[in-house]
Every structure is written in C-alpha cells, then in structure tokens.
Amino acid sequence: MATQPIDRFATRLAPETQAAVYNGTKIGHEKRTKMLFDHYADPNQLRRLAGEIKQHVVENLDTYLPAVEARLQANGVKVHWAATAESACNAVLEIMQARGATKMVKAKTMVSEEIELGEFLEARGIEALETDLGEFIVQIDHDHPSHIVKPIIHKNRRQIATSFEQHGLGAYNEEPTVITARARQWMRPKYLGADVALTGANFVSVESGRLVLVTNEGNSRFCLAATKCHIALVGIEKLLPRDRDLALLLNLLGRSGTAQQLTVYTEFITGPKAAGQPDGPEEMHVIFVDNGRTDVLASSCRDILRCIRCGACLNVCPVYRQASGHAYRSVYPGPVGAVLSPLLMGERFPEKADLAKASSLCGACNEVCPVNIPIPDLLLRLRDKAKTEHVHSPGTPPMGAWAILATQPAAWKAALFGGKLIDYLPTKLLPIPPLRAWENTRTIPSWRGGEFRKWLKRRRRKQT
C-alpha cells in the first residue's frame, strides 16, 4: 500500500537531525509545562480565556481592521494593504525605492518567509540581512527554518561551525559562546550601515495601535536603533482589542513557547521615534498582509487564525518530533501548519492536503495551545474537505465496503464469522490492504469474530 509523503520524509531523516529535533522539542515542552503549573493554579483557564479573546477578534476582523488602521494613522504610521505575497513584496520595494534604500536588516518574521521577501529583494539588488541568529544561519546556509520559534532546532553546533567557516566568519569553532560572539561582531556594522529595518509584529493592539515585538537577542532593537525607516509586515489576524489583553497574552506567549515569563525584550511601538530621540526610525510603515488569510477566514477552520505563533504545539507533537519541520514543506510546520499551510494555498489546497493527514489526532497540541485552538477538530474538517474535493490520499483505505458492512447487521455478522480466514491465509493474500500494511510492522491478534455474541447466546440459554 502506498504511504504518505511526510512518512517517507521521516524514513530519510538523518539520525542526528532527528535527535536534535527530539531533544529540542522535548525540553521545550517539559519546561513549558513545569513553568505554567508552577506559576498558575489554573493555566488552562487562562488558555481558554485567551482563546475566547482571539476568537472574538477573528470573528470581528471586519470591525477591527479599519479601526486599527485609523489608530495607526493617527499615530503617524503609514498603513498599506497587500492582498498577495507579490503585492506585499512590491509594497516593501516601493517604500525602499522611495528612500533610495538598498540595505535592509530584518528581525525574525515568518510572514517575510511566506512572501519570500528575501529572494525578491536580492533579485533586485537589495541586501536583506537576517539578524536573528537562527535565521542568519538559515540564510547563509540557503536552508529553511524548521520550527516557527527555533528555526535551527534541526542543526547541531558542528553543522553551524562549518557554515560559519564556509561563509568567512572565522576558522571552525563549535563553541556556542564563540559562535554567538562572532555573530554579534559581524552584525554590528551591518545594522549601522543599513537603511531600513523590517520586522513583523506578534500583536497589534487596536485600542492604542501598539505593535508588540517579542525577542531575546536584541536584534530587533538594534534594527530599530540603527536605521531610519521601519517597515512592519503584519498578518491581518494579529490584532488584539485592548492593551489590557496584551498583559494576558504576553504572560502566556513566553511561557508557552520558550518557558520564559517574558522574552528578554518586549517592544511596544506606536510610531516613529520620539521627537527628542536621536536614534531610530523617522518613518514607520505597517503592511497588513492577507496572502490567503481571508480564505482561511471564510473556511470552517477559521479558529486557526487565533494562533500567536508560540510553537508549543510543535514541541509536543509526536509526529513533528519524528518527522521534523522540513517534512511539512511549508513555512508553518507542525500542528498549526497542518491546518494553516494547506488553507493558505487557497485553490492549490490539494498540494498540501496531506499535511492534515499527518496526525494521529492525539490532541496534545490543543492541550498546550495558549489560545485553545481545537486543532484535531480542524484537521478532521480538512480531511473531509480533501475527500469531498477528491484529493488523492495514498495509504487511506476506501471506506465504501466497510460502510456497507457496518450498516447491514446480517452482513456484519457474516464477516465476523468469515474473518477467521485471516488466521489461515498468508497476509499477502488477504484482500484487505490496511491489514497487509499493518502486518508489515505489527502482528495481528487471532480472529475472535462472533465469539462474544456466542458467549451471550450461551448465557441466555443457560438462564432460561
């Protein structure tokens, strides 16, 4: 029987990569759980509340988007809208060209990966340098991030040291402190020589127009201290209604994603620099990006838009830790990606419909999600969608015959008695592909079809 692409990818995964991903995710999950339960009597109550707040936002984006636009403009921020990846890239390009800018420094933003901004700008002679250490390493390696929060969870120090050496960052040295110090030294002149800073935003408060950036390395601060123009790429779903909601969500975000009460730096930005401040952007732009989000919003899986990109679901997912992020062929992997990535494809949904199959529906993701997204339910809906749209799914047995048996009691009972055949026939002769596939790695218990019903009959006879 054919198997699924993500399963085949897992069979080819190098053991050292699998080990790195397993260790990284396991520790991430265990620390997250310990911290939440140490700090709060009922962290699940907080998750459910945060989920209700974000669901409210998702279902009221028609009100909140114009409201936040007005607020941002009142704060002196220029607001742009980009329906597609291409128009988002062009919006960035136009801002840079208007300034004669050729050098950009980027803080980590998954939206920029989605729209493939780096390649777009490089092709037009603009340097777009990743400043987050993990993303920087991905960039010099021409690799892709494999985790939404820990982009190089799949790499070990030896691989990083080799990359650094190959890219002129010094002789081979795998000491993490040395690697980090080299990145620090190398990046400083780059920040100071850049024209434009690009960031994302973890949240935008509609009430105040505050963009919230959550980081640890100081790279987004440096981008915004050294350059004169700030461009923020923001998915249309990243809103929160009020500043007070920020306190709740920030308390959950760090703990869920990286077992930190707060990341080292939480920046609240309402506009260009203050009047008396010598350093920082004189000009600020927010580009609200759709790129398929309105398709998700129109679907029965719109709850996925609550996601605050913490990565907790990746860290706990038993499938992600076996397959690693690259198996999902998407900017967003893991449980959140299994819902979001196929839907962001719009009409090209069939190309990624298999992602929704790569799950045992264990529900661990929902249990750790700081906004309580019912991911298994959404995966099931996507499986229904794929079947309805006749998307081919290797390895999934057709259910027509089974449905007939299971709605005809007489046929069912006959099958219960007839199934004894599997005890006698070699498996490869069995006309049931799932049974053959099962037997590749597992024994099948002996057939006991009909025995329980016989037992009941015998007892009834004895009682009468």
Contacts of other proteins in 36-55 (CB under 8 A): 39-40, 45-46, 49, 52-53, 55
Nearer to other proteins, 125 or 431 (CB): 431
336 binds other proteins (CB under 8 A): no
Tell me how far, at minimum, the Cβ of 208 lies from other proteins, in Å. 8
Buried b (16+ CB within 10 A) or exposed e, 356-365: bbbbeeeebb
Using CB under 8 A as the binding rule, whether residue 1 contacts other proteins is answered as: yes
Q: Assess 371 for contact with other proteins (CB under 8 A).
A: no
Query: Taking CB under 8 A as the criterion, which residues in 300-319 touch other proteins?
Result: 302, 318-319
Q: Give residues 75-104 in contact with other proteins (rule: CB under 8 A).
A: 75, 80-83, 87, 91
Of 155 and 341, the one with the shorter C-beta distance to other proteins is 155
Dig out the tokens for 128 from the structure: 């777009």
**Contact stretch for other proteins (CB under 8 A) within 196-204, 333-341, 342-350, 409-417:** 409-417
Residue the block writes with tokens 């099931």: 380
Among 361, 421, 425, 429, binds other proteins (CB under 8 A): 361
Cβ distance 345 to 174 under 8 Å?
no
* Stretch touching other proteins by CB under 8 A, among 18-26, 95-103, 120-128, 195-203: 18-26
- Is residue 455 near other proteins by the rule CB under 8 A? yes
Q: Is 9 exposed, middle or buried (0-12, 13-18, 19+ CB in 10 A)?
A: middle
251-273 in b/e form (b: 16+ CB < 10 A) is bbbbbbbbbbeebeeebebbbbb
Q: DSSP string covering 346-403, please?
A: GGGGGGGGGGGGS-----HHHHH-TT---HHHHHHHHHHHHHHTT---TTPPP-HHHH
What is the nearest approach in angstroms of other proteins to the Cβ of residue 348? Answer: 17
Among 399, 421, 425, 429, binds other proteins (CB under 8 A): 399
Query: Which one among 120, 222, 328, 332 touches other proteins, defined by CB under 8 A?
Result: 222
Q: Note whether 169 binds other proteins by CB under 8 A.
A: no
Residues 148, 269, 313, 338: which binds other proteins (CB under 8 A)?
269
Q: Are 200 and 108 in contact (CB under 8 A)?
A: yes
- Greatest CA span in the chain, whole angstroms? 97
Q: In the structure encoding, which two tokens stand for residue 273, read together?
A: 């620099």
Is 17 one of the binding residues for other proteins (CB under 8 A)? no
Q: Is 463 helix (H, G, I), strand (E, B) or coil?
A: helix
Q: Output 125 or 178, the one with its CB closest to other proteins.
A: 178
Q: Which residue has the tokens 């309402």?
A: 270
What is the sign, positive or negative, of the torsion defined by CA atoms of 311, 313, 314, 315? positive
When asked if residue 66 is in the footprint of other proteins (CB under 8 A), the reply is: yes
Q: How many CA atoms, within 13 angstroms, populate the side-chain half-sphere of residue 170? A: 15
In the complex, the smallest distance separating the C-beta of residue 153 from other proteins, rounded to whole angstroms, is 8
- By beta-carbon proximity to other proteins, the closer residue of 119 and 433 is 433
Type of residue numbered 310: C
What are 415's two structure tokens?
A: 């099958």
Is 277 near other proteins (CB under 8 A)? yes
Q: By CB under 8 A, what part of segment 421-450 binds other proteins?
A: 433-434, 437-438, 440-449
- Tell me how far, at minimum, the Cβ of 102 lies from other proteins, in Å: 19
Q: Is 7 in the site for other proteins (CB under 8 A)?
A: yes
Token pair in block for residue 111: 């939206």
Interaction between residue 386 and other proteins (CB under 8 A): yes
Q: Does 398 bind other proteins (CB under 8 A)?
A: yes
Q: How far apart are CA 401 and CA 234, in angstroms?
A: 48
395 lies in the site for other proteins, by CB under 8 A: yes
- If one asks whether residue 72 binds other proteins (CB under 8 A), the answer comes out as no
